[in-house]
Structure 1
């Protein structure tokens, strides 16, 4: 076994690998950029080496810097994690040439499976079922468009060197093809440095099912069953589960053996995932192979009781696979939810900012800290794989994933219940996250009933988006409870420091001005001389009482309802967590804002830090509401900004290629102008 390894990645996967290595007695070396100097993965490792500026192209994607760090620290092997250089055959070959073990497949296997078009040709030769499509080297746009017409719309354009949903578009008609192709190619260049694409028939109501495979250097190969990753947004996975609902033993064996055969055909070693598109009737087609560990590997660990990172390390050190196919078993059901910093109501725009509050469900196993061998034999009901801590920041330089929340149950129903409870107990303050959205997906008719396909989120749009907010009276009750508890904690024992508004006669009134997405409202707390309280919000007047429960939790009585609320305040921004959801409001200090002018309008601003890709209108153009005006790139994804109303573009404030800070005006816009 190795004595020291370098982890050529960041975030939760680097923390995950470090935890398993520590358990095995292996020392670890972290690499970090300017943005990651104080990151969790640096603290998780025994040593750390600075490799450059914050942008991945200048740090994590520079193979020479990674190898130099390994050689300088005496690391015998490099674990690439996923993303960055994990599927770069040039890096794997450079490791071999430098005498450093690459913990992954040989460069030849990465090369064979790395290009989607080439891998499809290999699978076609091996008689693996393929979706009809064009996988050729000729990338002339006119030819690609003709091939799309031959295949028949709808078609799917995919970056040949891609993954993670980047460089991928569904095209429903010939008229949409040119713009979709150009957008795919831009994303492909930015993410993978290769503009080549392939075109395939878009399978309606497909399921996305992948098979975990493992090979050692002695020719032994197994499949560790399947994962269903059908729940996706913008072609990126949201929820993953194992085993796949409705999978028969016969179909599991058929898909597993096909995956093993595909990997064996390219001389594979280590952990890999063969991905299939499956029809609702069970027919399946090879899609691609990810020549690395997958983000969703914890659900496979949960149902098999195995540590896949340990398997990676042992295989890379020359050991044989620990188990044969006949010794592998499935136990229970596991689901993983990807908690991301994004605004789900704004088309999943990435969100950046500081994690002022980051609280996980009580009793959750945290793999940043511990990878206990016994846990794999007794799967934890709730597991957290996180690469951030409270007080850390989500920056625009890297993927917006905050953490993975994994639950296990004896069956799917128990796993679903545990997932909803765990998401409800997760509290994140400081930026937008998708936790409330994930709860709605889990509760949706399609997901709870295992009616799965990649269009589930769009099909359930009415239940998942534009949902009623937490009732204002409940949110106000939490804000008032927080204010009362804060004041109670600050007062001294003498009666003169009391701040409860006591009166000898009459009623004491206290006004809370609250700004929220729907506008501005007032909550009025009335306290009578006998100590009773009433909370008035809008046309509601409800008996009220609140008692602190410790920390940020409060027991609140609002009318006939008793509820436990968690409240977190950062300046004037207050977040209230209730059993049915959360609310984010601003408690306005009227004295502090006396004289403030009204908010300035007439500008289209950047919703997140990023780069201007293109303007789709020029100064002086009249535009219609919803018309695209600008394209930005952030976190390796393109985002289109549209006109909020009919009007005129008055001026462009940036040029394509320039970086823009969040909130900066991209262009001046006048609604309704002649």
Structure 2
């Protein structure tokens, strides 16, 4: 390998470019129209366009990516994560073109990417498992039959892909039809295949995973464990390594079964074996991600292993540089910085980043693909940066994280920073007993903790309330000098107008700006589908429409009872924040 094309964008493309160039490879960036001036484009040795502005036209366009590789003379392709990173067909395209695919073989991706065959591999490897269907189910009736045999709750999951897309948890029999149909619909949209299977769903489990590296000589190293339990809508927000509060036996079982699964699958490259851990200590295999994970930096920080460099070594046919499973040193926590508004139910908030000022200092790492003045486009994922904080132990990492997040400043669009600041104060997450020491019995975070236990805290959050106050009116920001130091003040635009300052005209957003009874879009995105017919009688809270943005669906509900009249918008059309979707009369 001499020249590597990175078939991705944003912070992961930047991350790969840095390790590749350090190892002596030249790099090629690809870019959609809106990514022309992006950081990954500027850092690569050369860049070539993927004409278009949507994911389908660009980073998911296999033909365009292969043409880009041919055009630039690249002899290897690194897929990053997301997009086509777990697409066996794309991996085969690369290999058939005589290029090196930096990842597991297409056959392995196919076997482990299909959760049904992955489960078969896990069974053969002797991994811990909960009851599940032997293959995909063809109807909601088959889901009901499984429920009758194994009980509730159950999860309907896409057989292809991952990341929580195409998954629905069903807790009552009344939810079976809608849950099955939604999972199939999401699976078809996200992965091009609607096959779904069913398995028992563990209530309030932790999400534990093992990072593996496997070379072509047959050696499998488990680099470490991670806890990724802090999720919303099955999307991770906070991850840490090593996974805290595991018993020695649980840690041993994770390491041994992850190694056995990778060996059984004939795995090569970097991959992640994921598990669920119930409150009573039951460990069950979940899935294998056949790619680098978003949260890989916490493993790197606690082991000193450059996982991207190891991927490159393995792709070259070299052995893994590690002689055995490394012992972790210290503790690391990663905070995903997403363009989402936690004060409004984590609605996507694409737009311009006026100021991006990351924290610095000992033990602080920031992975990002943006700078001040860049945009977070609505066509791609909402995550634009990661803050990784490392310290000698978990208590010190929490303290250091508080300082880092308080120092970080992002202006121009709402982000999840206030959420992270609130999480750091949560007793369930801090896991401290009355003496202030950390205690496994006090660690209360699980995969639905944000939507359940933490929801009332979010409603009362001083951090989110402060963030929301700044959204309630347009703000005019002016810089003044106080005691010899510049201080930026944010004042309501109406007030600055009275004071004679040059201020923008206040722009009301959301339902408050519209006439009584109107229904508006809370964010910019695409109308995925109508849930209510034109002229239908609805009650307050009924679903009217579903909007999609940044790969996430959000339901628009009726603010009051009445007759719903649709606006002239068809599914698939773009809508803007505050745009009227209809009215209730």
Assess if the C-alpha contact under 8 Å between 1:441 and 1:464 holds in 2. no
Partner of 2:524: 609
Q: Does 1:410 align with 2:387?
A: no
Q: What secondary structure does 1:133 align onto?
A: coil
Q: Based on CA coordinates, which of the two structures has the bigger radius of gyration?
A: 1
Partner of 2:356: 358
Normalising by structure 1, we get a TM-score of 0.79
Distance 1:471 1:236 in 2: 25
Partner of 2:213: 214
1:282-325 deviations in whole A, cap 9, x for unaligned? 33111100000000000000100111111111111111111111
Distance 1:282 1:257 in 2: 17
Distance 2:558 2:187 in 1: 27
Q: What secondary structure does 1:462 align onto?
A: helix
The Cα shift of 1:75 comes to 1.4
Q: What secondary structure does 2:265 align onto?
A: coil
The Cα shift of 1:22 comes to 1.9
Q: Does 1:396 align with 2:378?
A: yes
The Cα shift of 1:617 comes to 2.1
- Cα–Cα, structure 1 residues 430 and 382, in superposed 2: closer, same or farther, change >3 Å? same
Q: Does 1:426 align with 2:408?
A: yes
- Cα–Cα, structure 1 residues 596 and 63, in superposed 2: closer, same or farther, change >3 Å? closer
Assess if the C-alpha contact under 8 Å between 2:124 and 2:264 holds in 1. no
Q: What secondary structure does 2:483 align onto?
A: strand
The Cα shift of 1:594 comes to 9.6
- 1:463 aligns with one of 433, 438, 457: 457
Higher strand residue share: 1
Partner of 1:515: none
Q: Does 1:589 align with 2:497?
A: yes
Please identify, of 385-394 and 619-628, the stretch whose mean Cα deviation from structure 2 is larger. Answer: 619-628
The Cα shift of 1:101 comes to 0.4
Partner of 2:546: 631
Assess if the C-alpha contact under 8 Å between 1:29 and 1:47 holds in 2. yes
Q: What secondary structure does 1:408 align onto?
A: strand
Assess if the C-alpha contact under 8 Å between 2:519 and 2:581 holds in 1. yes
Q: What secondary structure does 1:648 align onto?
A: strand
Partner of 1:563: none
Mapping 1:370-519, distance limit 5 Å: 381-449=363-431, 450-457=443-450, 458-468=452-462, 483=478, 486=480
Q: Does 1:139 align with 2:54?
A: no
Please identify, of 427-436 and 135-144, the stretch whose mean Cα deviation from structure 2 is larger. Answer: 135-144
Distance 2:378 2:126 in 1: 43
Normalising by structure 2, we get a TM-score of 0.91
The Cα shift of 1:6 comes to 0.7
Q: What secondary structure does 2:50 align onto?
A: strand
Q: Does 1:549 align with 2:456?
A: no
Distance 1:134 1:595 in 2: 55
Mapping 1:13-162, distance limit 5 Å: 13-162=12-161
The alignment of Structure 1 onto Structure 2 pairs a total of residues equal to 561
Q: What secondary structure does 1:31 align onto?
A: strand
Partner of 1:371: none
Distance 2:496 2:166 in 1: 43
Partner of 2:198: 199
Partner of 2:435: none
Assess if the C-alpha contact under 8 Å between 1:273 and 1:291 holds in 2. yes
Partner of 1:178: 177
Distance 1:313 1:611 in 2: 38
- 1:346 aligns with one of 344, 347, 371: 344
Partner of 1:540: none
Q: What secondary structure does 1:58 align onto?
A: coil
Distance 1:461 1:470 in 2: 14
Distance 2:505 2:570 in 1: 38
Distance 1:93 1:612 in 2: 34
Partner of 1:664: 579
Name stretches of at least 5 consecutive residues in structure 2 with no aligned partner: 432-442
Distance 1:196 1:148 in 2: 18
Assess if the C-alpha contact under 8 Å between 1:232 and 1:239 holds in 2. yes
Partner of 1:243: 242
Distance 1:203 1:211 in 2: 19
Partner of 2:567: 652
Assess if the C-alpha contact under 8 Å between 1:108 and 1:266 holds in 2. no
